[in-house]
Amino acid sequence: MARQDGLYSALLARGITRRDFLKFSAAMSAALALPASYAPRVAAAVAAAPRIPVIWLEGQDCAGNTEAFLRASHPTVAELVLDTLSVDYHETIMAAAGAQAEAAMRGTMSTYPNGYIAVVEGSVPVADGGVYCTIGGKAFSDTVIEVCRGALVTIAVGSCAFDGGLPGAAGGPTGAIGAGHAVPGAKVINLPGCPMNVQNLTATIVHFLTFKAWPATDAMGRPLFAYGQLIHDQCERRAHFERGEYVTAWGDEAARSGWCLYQMGCKGPETYANCPTARFNDGTSWPVKSGHGCVGCTMPNFWDQMSPFYRRLPTVGPFATDTTADQVGLGLVGGVTALTAVHAVGSYVRKRRSDADARAELAAVSAPVAPPMADSSARSDSSTEGRTDR
Protein backbone atom coordinates (compact mmCIF):
# COMPACT_ATOMS: atom_id res chain seq x y z
CA MET A 1 0.00 0.00 0.00
CA ALA A 2 1.84 3.00 -1.24
CA ARG A 3 0.99 6.60 -0.60
CA GLN A 4 -1.60 8.11 -2.87
CA ASP A 5 -0.47 11.74 -2.98
CA GLY A 6 1.17 10.99 -6.31
CA LEU A 7 4.62 11.17 -7.81
CA TYR A 8 3.70 13.45 -10.69
CA SER A 9 2.14 16.09 -8.43
CA ALA A 10 5.26 15.95 -6.30
CA LEU A 11 7.36 16.55 -9.40
CA LEU A 12 5.21 19.46 -10.52
CA ALA A 13 5.50 20.96 -7.07
CA ARG A 14 9.28 20.81 -7.50
CA GLY A 15 9.10 22.92 -10.66
CA ILE A 16 9.40 20.15 -13.26
CA THR A 17 7.73 21.09 -16.55
CA ARG A 18 5.71 18.72 -18.69
CA ARG A 19 8.40 18.99 -21.37
CA ASP A 20 11.14 17.98 -18.94
CA PHE A 21 9.01 15.12 -17.76
CA LEU A 22 8.48 13.76 -21.27
CA LYS A 23 12.20 14.07 -22.01
CA PHE A 24 12.87 12.11 -18.84
CA SER A 25 10.41 9.40 -19.91
CA ALA A 26 12.13 9.06 -23.28
CA ALA A 27 15.53 8.85 -21.57
CA MET A 28 14.28 6.16 -19.18
CA SER A 29 12.90 4.14 -22.10
CA ALA A 30 16.31 4.32 -23.73
CA ALA A 31 18.07 3.38 -20.48
CA LEU A 32 15.83 0.35 -20.17
CA ALA A 33 16.59 -0.59 -23.78
CA LEU A 34 12.93 -0.18 -24.69
CA PRO A 35 11.77 1.02 -28.10
CA ALA A 36 11.09 4.76 -28.29
CA SER A 37 7.41 3.94 -28.65
CA TYR A 38 7.39 2.96 -24.97
CA ALA A 39 8.11 6.53 -23.81
CA PRO A 40 4.40 7.55 -23.56
CA ARG A 41 3.68 4.40 -21.54
CA VAL A 42 6.55 5.17 -19.20
CA ALA A 43 5.33 8.76 -18.87
CA ALA A 44 1.77 7.67 -18.12
CA ALA A 45 2.88 5.10 -15.55
CA VAL A 46 5.21 7.46 -13.69
CA ALA A 47 2.66 10.29 -13.83
CA ALA A 48 0.04 8.10 -12.16
CA ALA A 49 2.42 6.43 -9.74
CA PRO A 50 1.93 6.74 -6.00
CA ARG A 51 4.88 7.65 -3.83
CA ILE A 52 6.59 4.51 -2.60
CA PRO A 53 8.10 4.61 0.88
CA VAL A 54 11.81 3.84 1.08
CA ILE A 55 13.90 2.64 3.98
CA TRP A 56 17.58 3.22 3.18
CA LEU A 57 19.97 1.23 5.36
CA GLU A 58 23.67 1.94 5.49
CA GLY A 59 26.22 -0.50 6.88
CA GLN A 60 29.96 -0.81 6.23
CA ASP A 61 30.63 1.65 3.45
CA CYS A 62 31.97 5.05 2.44
CA ALA A 63 28.53 6.59 1.70
CA GLY A 64 29.50 6.91 -1.97
CA ASN A 65 26.10 5.65 -3.10
CA THR A 66 24.34 8.15 -0.89
CA GLU A 67 26.51 10.81 -2.53
CA ALA A 68 25.43 9.52 -5.94
CA PHE A 69 21.81 9.66 -4.78
CA LEU A 70 22.15 13.17 -3.48
CA ARG A 71 24.05 14.74 -6.36
CA ALA A 72 21.46 17.42 -6.77
CA SER A 73 23.36 20.62 -7.39
CA HIS A 74 21.69 20.64 -10.78
CA PRO A 75 18.61 18.50 -10.16
CA THR A 76 17.36 16.41 -13.01
CA VAL A 77 13.96 14.81 -13.20
CA ALA A 78 15.66 11.51 -12.40
CA GLU A 79 17.02 12.90 -9.17
CA LEU A 80 13.67 14.33 -8.27
CA VAL A 81 11.90 11.06 -8.98
CA LEU A 82 14.20 9.52 -6.44
CA ASP A 83 13.81 12.48 -4.12
CA THR A 84 10.04 12.20 -4.19
CA LEU A 85 10.02 8.51 -3.41
CA SER A 86 9.33 9.34 0.22
CA VAL A 87 12.54 8.29 1.87
CA ASP A 88 11.23 7.73 5.36
CA TYR A 89 14.43 6.49 6.89
CA HIS A 90 18.00 7.19 5.84
CA GLU A 91 20.55 7.13 8.62
CA THR A 92 22.93 9.52 6.89
CA ILE A 93 20.60 12.28 5.76
CA MET A 94 17.51 12.21 7.96
CA ALA A 95 17.04 14.98 10.47
CA ALA A 96 15.76 12.65 13.15
CA ALA A 97 18.17 10.68 15.30
CA GLY A 98 18.13 8.01 17.97
CA ALA A 99 14.76 6.71 19.11
CA GLN A 100 12.92 9.11 16.83
CA ALA A 101 14.71 7.70 13.77
CA GLU A 102 14.05 4.14 14.83
CA ALA A 103 10.37 5.01 15.30
CA ALA A 104 10.24 6.36 11.73
CA MET A 105 11.60 3.10 10.41
CA ARG A 106 9.27 0.96 12.48
CA GLY A 107 6.32 3.14 11.51
CA THR A 108 7.03 2.62 7.79
CA MET A 109 7.45 -1.12 8.25
CA SER A 110 4.17 -1.50 10.11
CA THR A 111 2.14 0.91 7.94
CA TYR A 112 3.34 -0.49 4.60
CA PRO A 113 4.00 -4.21 5.06
CA ASN A 114 5.51 -5.57 1.83
CA GLY A 115 4.88 -2.14 0.34
CA TYR A 116 8.14 -0.29 0.86
CA ILE A 117 11.48 -0.48 -0.93
CA ALA A 118 14.47 -1.43 1.19
CA VAL A 119 17.69 0.06 -0.16
CA VAL A 120 20.84 -1.41 1.34
CA GLU A 121 24.12 0.45 0.99
CA GLY A 122 27.31 -1.03 2.36
CA SER A 123 28.28 -4.52 3.35
CA VAL A 124 26.76 -6.55 6.16
CA PRO A 125 29.33 -7.79 8.70
CA VAL A 126 28.38 -11.12 10.24
CA ALA A 127 31.56 -12.20 12.02
CA ASP A 128 31.48 -12.33 15.82
CA GLY A 129 27.73 -11.88 15.99
CA GLY A 130 27.76 -8.79 13.81
CA VAL A 131 29.49 -6.59 16.39
CA TYR A 132 31.46 -4.69 13.75
CA CYS A 133 28.46 -2.60 12.77
CA THR A 134 25.68 -1.85 15.20
CA ILE A 135 22.98 0.80 14.99
CA GLY A 136 20.80 1.66 17.95
CA GLY A 137 22.54 -1.10 19.90
CA LYS A 138 21.46 -3.69 17.39
CA ALA A 139 23.62 -5.63 14.91
CA PHE A 140 23.22 -4.20 11.42
CA SER A 141 22.83 -7.76 10.11
CA ASP A 142 19.71 -8.24 12.27
CA THR A 143 18.21 -4.95 11.04
CA VAL A 144 18.88 -5.88 7.42
CA ILE A 145 17.14 -9.25 7.85
CA GLU A 146 14.14 -7.66 9.55
CA VAL A 147 13.72 -4.77 7.12
CA CYS A 148 14.42 -6.68 3.89
CA ARG A 149 12.14 -9.59 4.74
CA GLY A 150 9.20 -7.18 5.06
CA ALA A 151 9.95 -5.19 1.91
CA LEU A 152 8.39 -5.15 -1.54
CA VAL A 153 11.93 -5.51 -2.85
CA THR A 154 15.47 -4.96 -1.67
CA ILE A 155 17.77 -2.96 -3.91
CA ALA A 156 21.43 -3.42 -2.99
CA VAL A 157 23.29 -0.33 -4.18
CA GLY A 158 27.04 -0.36 -4.68
CA SER A 159 29.61 -3.12 -4.63
CA CYS A 160 29.72 -3.49 -0.85
CA ALA A 161 26.00 -4.26 -0.67
CA PHE A 162 26.39 -6.55 -3.69
CA ASP A 163 28.97 -8.95 -2.31
CA GLY A 164 30.82 -7.36 0.60
CA GLY A 165 33.00 -5.05 -1.51
CA LEU A 166 36.16 -3.70 0.07
CA PRO A 167 35.29 -4.79 3.64
CA GLY A 168 34.75 -8.30 2.26
CA ALA A 169 38.05 -8.42 0.35
CA ALA A 170 40.86 -10.76 1.39
CA GLY A 171 42.06 -10.02 4.90
CA GLY A 172 38.91 -8.21 5.99
CA PRO A 173 38.13 -9.32 9.56
CA THR A 174 34.44 -8.47 9.76
CA GLY A 175 32.89 -11.28 7.72
CA ALA A 176 31.39 -8.73 5.33
CA ILE A 177 28.82 -10.05 2.85
CA GLY A 178 26.24 -8.55 0.53
CA ALA A 179 22.56 -7.99 1.24
CA GLY A 180 21.43 -10.88 -0.96
CA HIS A 181 23.67 -13.22 0.95
CA ALA A 182 22.61 -11.81 4.32
CA VAL A 183 18.90 -12.30 3.68
CA PRO A 184 18.43 -15.65 1.91
CA GLY A 185 15.09 -15.86 0.15
CA ALA A 186 14.53 -12.11 -0.02
CA LYS A 187 13.84 -10.51 -3.38
CA VAL A 188 17.06 -8.63 -4.09
CA ILE A 189 18.11 -6.58 -7.08
CA ASN A 190 21.82 -5.80 -7.18
CA LEU A 191 23.18 -2.56 -8.59
CA PRO A 192 26.93 -3.01 -8.09
CA GLY A 193 29.45 -0.31 -8.85
CA CYS A 194 31.73 1.83 -6.77
CA PRO A 195 29.46 3.72 -6.59
CA MET A 196 26.38 2.57 -8.48
CA ASN A 197 25.12 4.83 -11.23
CA VAL A 198 22.03 6.57 -9.89
CA GLN A 199 20.45 6.37 -13.34
CA ASN A 200 20.26 2.60 -12.92
CA LEU A 201 18.44 2.99 -9.61
CA THR A 202 15.95 5.37 -11.22
CA ALA A 203 15.44 3.11 -14.23
CA THR A 204 14.91 0.06 -12.02
CA ILE A 205 12.15 1.86 -10.13
CA VAL A 206 10.65 3.32 -13.31
CA HIS A 207 10.53 -0.20 -14.77
CA PHE A 208 8.51 -1.34 -11.78
CA LEU A 209 6.18 1.65 -11.98
CA THR A 210 5.63 1.04 -15.70
CA PHE A 211 5.32 -2.74 -15.88
CA LYS A 212 4.48 -3.65 -12.27
CA ALA A 213 7.43 -6.01 -12.43
CA TRP A 214 11.11 -5.68 -11.66
CA PRO A 215 13.53 -5.75 -14.57
CA ALA A 216 15.01 -9.01 -15.81
CA THR A 217 18.32 -9.82 -14.16
CA ASP A 218 21.29 -12.10 -14.64
CA ALA A 219 22.06 -14.93 -12.22
CA MET A 220 23.73 -12.43 -9.90
CA GLY A 221 20.60 -10.30 -9.63
CA ARG A 222 21.93 -7.46 -11.81
CA PRO A 223 19.40 -5.89 -14.22
CA LEU A 224 20.23 -6.84 -17.78
CA PHE A 225 19.41 -3.39 -19.10
CA ALA A 226 22.39 -2.05 -17.12
CA TYR A 227 24.70 -5.05 -16.76
CA GLY A 228 23.96 -7.04 -19.90
CA GLN A 229 26.82 -5.81 -22.07
CA LEU A 230 30.57 -5.67 -21.78
CA ILE A 231 32.05 -2.23 -21.26
CA HIS A 232 34.58 -3.17 -23.96
CA ASP A 233 31.78 -3.50 -26.52
CA GLN A 234 30.41 -0.04 -25.79
CA CYS A 235 33.67 1.84 -25.29
CA GLU A 236 34.51 4.85 -27.41
CA ARG A 237 38.18 3.74 -27.44
CA ARG A 238 37.36 0.34 -28.93
CA ALA A 239 38.49 1.29 -32.43
CA HIS A 240 41.96 1.97 -31.00
CA PHE A 241 41.97 -1.46 -29.36
CA GLU A 242 41.13 -3.07 -32.69
CA ARG A 243 43.96 -1.13 -34.38
CA GLY A 244 46.44 -2.07 -31.66
CA GLU A 245 46.78 1.55 -30.58
CA TYR A 246 47.51 1.47 -26.86
CA VAL A 247 48.51 3.86 -24.14
CA THR A 248 51.72 2.46 -22.67
CA ALA A 249 52.58 5.18 -20.12
CA TRP A 250 50.45 7.71 -18.30
CA GLY A 251 50.61 11.01 -20.08
CA ASP A 252 52.24 9.70 -23.25
CA GLU A 253 51.21 10.83 -26.71
CA ALA A 254 48.83 7.86 -27.00
CA ALA A 255 47.13 8.91 -23.75
CA ARG A 256 46.75 12.44 -25.02
CA SER A 257 45.27 11.04 -28.24
CA GLY A 258 42.65 8.99 -26.39
CA TRP A 259 43.96 5.55 -27.35
CA CYS A 260 42.99 2.27 -25.68
CA LEU A 261 43.87 1.76 -22.00
CA TYR A 262 44.08 -2.02 -22.16
CA GLN A 263 47.82 -2.15 -21.51
CA MET A 264 47.38 0.19 -18.55
CA GLY A 265 45.18 -2.40 -16.87
CA CYS A 266 41.71 -1.56 -18.17
CA LYS A 267 39.25 -4.29 -17.15
CA GLY A 268 36.62 -3.27 -19.68
CA PRO A 269 37.02 -6.53 -21.65
CA GLU A 270 35.74 -8.52 -18.66
CA THR A 271 33.32 -6.09 -17.05
CA TYR A 272 29.59 -5.83 -17.55
CA ALA A 273 28.06 -2.39 -17.03
CA ASN A 274 26.51 0.49 -18.95
CA CYS A 275 29.03 3.12 -17.78
CA PRO A 276 29.96 4.12 -21.37
CA THR A 277 26.35 4.95 -22.23
CA ALA A 278 24.86 6.03 -18.88
CA ARG A 279 28.01 7.88 -17.76
CA PHE A 280 28.16 9.91 -14.53
CA ASN A 281 27.64 13.51 -13.43
CA ASP A 282 24.62 14.22 -15.59
CA GLY A 283 26.00 12.04 -18.37
CA THR A 284 29.17 14.11 -18.65
CA SER A 285 31.84 11.43 -18.51
CA TRP A 286 32.98 8.07 -17.18
CA PRO A 287 36.38 6.77 -16.07
CA VAL A 288 37.66 5.55 -19.46
CA LYS A 289 36.55 8.73 -21.20
CA SER A 290 38.44 10.75 -18.62
CA GLY A 291 41.60 8.70 -19.18
CA HIS A 292 41.56 6.00 -16.50
CA GLY A 293 41.03 2.33 -17.20
CA CYS A 294 37.97 0.48 -15.94
CA VAL A 295 38.70 -1.32 -12.63
CA GLY A 296 35.82 -3.77 -13.00
CA CYS A 297 33.91 -2.52 -9.97
CA THR A 298 30.57 -4.01 -11.08
CA MET A 299 31.97 -7.54 -11.07
CA PRO A 300 32.01 -10.05 -8.19
CA ASN A 301 34.77 -9.75 -5.64
CA PHE A 302 36.44 -7.10 -7.79
CA TRP A 303 38.92 -5.87 -5.16
CA ASP A 304 40.58 -9.28 -5.19
CA GLN A 305 39.78 -10.55 -8.66
CA MET A 306 40.44 -7.38 -10.68
CA SER A 307 43.57 -6.17 -8.90
CA PRO A 308 46.29 -5.10 -9.48
CA PHE A 309 44.22 -2.46 -11.21
CA TYR A 310 47.11 -1.23 -13.35
CA ARG A 311 48.28 -4.61 -14.60
CA ARG A 312 47.18 -5.77 -18.01
CA LEU A 313 44.58 -8.55 -18.02
CA PRO A 314 46.04 -12.01 -18.54
CA THR A 315 43.91 -12.39 -21.64
CA VAL A 316 42.45 -9.90 -24.05
CA GLY A 317 39.17 -11.79 -23.71
CA PRO A 318 37.90 -11.46 -27.25
CA PHE A 319 34.43 -12.53 -26.23
CA ALA A 320 31.72 -12.69 -28.79
CA THR A 321 29.41 -9.71 -28.39
CA ASP A 322 26.53 -12.00 -27.48
CA THR A 323 28.42 -13.60 -24.59
CA THR A 324 26.41 -12.96 -21.45
CA ALA A 325 27.44 -12.00 -17.96
CA ASP A 326 26.09 -15.34 -16.75
CA GLN A 327 28.33 -17.23 -19.15
CA VAL A 328 31.33 -15.29 -17.93
CA GLY A 329 30.30 -15.70 -14.30
CA LEU A 330 29.92 -19.43 -14.71
CA GLY A 331 33.27 -19.73 -16.43
CA LEU A 332 31.76 -20.87 -19.71
CA VAL A 333 33.56 -18.41 -21.89
CA GLY A 334 36.54 -20.68 -22.42
CA GLY A 335 34.81 -22.24 -25.41
CA VAL A 336 33.66 -18.90 -26.73
CA THR A 337 37.13 -17.51 -26.27
CA ALA A 338 38.68 -20.43 -28.10
CA LEU A 339 36.30 -20.01 -31.01
CA THR A 340 36.80 -16.29 -31.27
CA ALA A 341 40.55 -16.39 -30.64
CA VAL A 342 41.07 -17.52 -34.23
CA HIS A 343 39.26 -14.45 -35.42
CA ALA A 344 41.10 -12.29 -32.91
CA VAL A 345 44.50 -13.56 -33.97
CA GLY A 346 43.58 -13.00 -37.59
CA SER A 347 42.55 -9.46 -36.77
CA TYR A 348 45.72 -8.85 -34.87
CA VAL A 349 48.08 -9.84 -37.62
CA ARG A 350 46.31 -7.45 -39.95
CA LYS A 351 46.74 -4.59 -37.55
CA ARG A 352 49.66 -2.29 -37.14
CA ARG A 353 51.64 -4.16 -34.54
CA SER A 354 55.34 -4.22 -35.29
CA ASP A 355 57.31 -3.91 -32.09
CA ALA A 356 58.34 -6.62 -29.66
CA ASP A 357 55.57 -5.80 -27.18
CA ALA A 358 53.00 -6.34 -29.87
CA ARG A 359 54.38 -9.79 -30.65
CA ALA A 360 54.27 -10.74 -26.97
CA GLU A 361 50.71 -9.52 -26.77
CA LEU A 362 49.74 -11.66 -29.73
CA ALA A 363 51.15 -14.73 -28.03
CA ALA A 364 49.02 -13.98 -24.97
CA VAL A 365 45.88 -13.73 -27.08
CA SER A 366 46.62 -17.07 -28.68
CA ALA A 367 46.52 -18.76 -25.27
CA PRO A 368 43.14 -17.85 -23.81
CA VAL A 369 42.84 -18.00 -20.05
CA ALA A 370 39.60 -18.30 -18.11
CA PRO A 371 38.59 -14.84 -16.87
CA PRO A 372 39.36 -14.10 -13.24
CA MET A 373 35.81 -14.36 -11.95
CA ALA A 374 34.58 -15.23 -8.52
CA ASP A 375 32.40 -18.26 -8.08
CA SER A 376 28.89 -16.85 -8.00
CA SER A 377 27.19 -20.08 -7.05
CA ALA A 378 27.04 -19.13 -3.36
CA ARG A 379 24.88 -16.16 -4.21
CA SER A 380 22.86 -17.63 -7.03
CA ASP A 381 20.10 -18.94 -4.78
CA SER A 382 19.08 -15.55 -3.54
CA SER A 383 19.81 -13.70 -6.75
CA THR A 384 17.77 -15.95 -8.99
CA GLU A 385 14.99 -15.77 -6.43
CA GLY A 386 14.40 -12.20 -7.50
CA ARG A 387 14.63 -12.90 -11.20
CA THR A 388 11.79 -11.41 -13.17
CA ASP A 389 11.33 -11.73 -16.88
CA ARG A 390 9.35 -9.14 -18.67
Residues that bind ligand SF4 (CB under 6 A): 231-232, 235, 237-238, 241, 260-262, 266, 268-269, 288, 293-294
Residue 125 or 268: the one with the smaller Cβ distance to ligand SF4 is: 268
Rounded least distance, CB 373 to ligand SF4, Å: 17
The rounded distance, in Å, linking the Cα atoms of 367 and 372 is 15
**Minimal CB distance to ligand SF4: which residue?**
268
Rounded least distance, CB 232 to ligand SF4, Å: 4
Rounded least distance, CB 284 to ligand SF4, Å: 18
Rounded least distance, CB 234 to ligand SF4, Å: 8
Residue 23 or 279: the one with the smaller Cβ distance to ligand SF4 is: 279
DSSP string, 84-110: TT-EEEETTT-S--HHHHHHHHHHHHH
The rounded distance, in Å, linking the Cα atoms of 149 and 186 is 6
Residue 57 or 316: the one with the smaller Cβ distance to ligand SF4 is: 316
Q: Distances from the Cα of 107 to the Cαs of 100, 104, 116, 149, 152, in angstroms?
A: 10, 5, 11, 16, 16
Rounded least distance, CB 271 to ligand SF4, Å: 8
Residue 106 or 238: the one with the smaller Cβ distance to ligand SF4 is: 238
Residue 56 or 262: the one with the smaller Cβ distance to ligand SF4 is: 262
Query: Which residues 6+ apart lie within 8 Å of 217 measured at CB?
Result: 189, 190, 223, 224, 383, 386, 387, 388
Q: Which of 119, 144, 1 is nearest to 65 (CA)?
A: 119
Rounded least distance, CB 158 to ligand SF4, Å: 21
Pure H helices in the chain: 7-13, 18-31, 39-48, 64-70, 77-83, 98-111, 140-149, 159-163, 179-182, 198-211, 224-227, 238-242, 253-256, 275-278, 302-305, 325-329, 333-350, 356-365, 377-385
Residue 188 or 230: the one with the smaller Cβ distance to ligand SF4 is: 230
Rounded least distance, CB 266 to ligand SF4, Å: 3
Residue 8 or 262: the one with the smaller Cβ distance to ligand SF4 is: 262
The rounded distance, in Å, linking the Cα atoms of 281 and 278 is 10
Rounded least distance, CB 275 to ligand SF4, Å: 9
Q: Which of 273, 364, 348 is nearest to 313 (CA)?
A: 364
In angstroms, how far is the first alpha carbon of the chain from the final one? 23
Residue 300 or 318: the one with the smaller Cβ distance to ligand SF4 is: 318
| Cis ω before 276 (30° cut-off from 0) | no
